[in-house]
Amino acid sequence: MAFMHLHHHLLPSPSLSFSKASPSVSRSLSCLYTPSFPSKKSTDCINWLLRFPQKSLSFALSGALALGIAISGVRFADAIVGVNKPELLPKEFTSVIDVAGFLSDGQEIRLKQEIADIEKDTGYKLRVLAQNYPVTPGLAIKDFWQVDDRTIVFVADPTFGNILNFNVGASVDLDIPRSFWSRLAGKYGNIFYWKEKGEDASIESAVIAISNCLKEPVGPNNCSEIK
């Protein structure tokens, strides 16, 4: 799961192994675990992140799944703190994890059915995590969900304003225009929308939009509309 560019509200991907990290990867991971308070280290990391080529940066960051943090400029390096809390995971597999309590039981059932239909029809795996950072299972979901190149991890977290954040697998990235995720976050993730409609409405609307997009034939105009 890798990106050529880092879009606003697009999360770094988890596919590369920590054990095979290059010096550049090691530097990026060090920056990812910078404390959330301004410091010389965090400033150095910000400067390094801004200088690092976009393609290299996307692969360097792919070793960490820092869920719930939207990438929005230099705030990224200061804000991300590694979280790994497997105790927050459910005992049995589920495609929707709501540790924030945004969804009703009925909504969770509907989302799980929609996600099952997506996987059946397209082969892509959509996984939804609703959280309020730092209360999140974080890195633990990678193994729990067996995240791979055909997985979309959708993290609903209002902590930094826009509630919609996405971690998109490399195979998905080949078929879905990258602009789709930014447009989706802009339409249903903005603070005005979820403040008025509710976090649950943002989540449900986003899942339906992703479902519609994934089911469109791949081509130059696929996913051109958020619907």
List strand residue ranges (DSSP E) for the chain, in order. 96-98, 125-130, 151-156, 164-168
Comparing C-alpha atoms, which of 38, 63, 6, 51 is closest to residue 182?
A: 6
Q: How is domain 88-214 classified at the CATH fold level? A: Diaminopimelate Epimerase; Chain A, domain 1 (3.10.310)
Can you give the pLDDT at residue 223?
95
Please, which residues bridge with residue 167 across strands?
153
Separation between Cα atoms, residue 78 and residue 58, nearest integer Å: 18
Query: Of the ranges 18-22, 50-54, 79-83, which is most confident?
Result: 79-83
Place of tokens 């193994």: 143
User: Which tens digits make up the pLDDT trace of 134-184?
Assistant: 899 999 999 999 999 999 999 999 998 999 999 999 999 999 999 999 999
Can you give the pLDDT at residue 83?
85
pLDDT at 6 over 80: no
By percentage, how much of the chain surpasses pLDDT 70?
64
Comparing C-alpha atoms, which of 18, 44, 34, 103 is closest to residue 69?
A: 34
Comparing C-alpha atoms, which of 227, 181, 157, 144 is closest to residue 3?
A: 181
Residue 152 to residues 27, 38, 74, 125, 155: CA-CA distances in angstroms?
A: 26, 32, 24, 6, 10
Can you give the pLDDT at residue 9?
53
- From-to residues of CATH 3.10.310.50 in the chain: 88-214
pLDDT at 119 over 70: yes
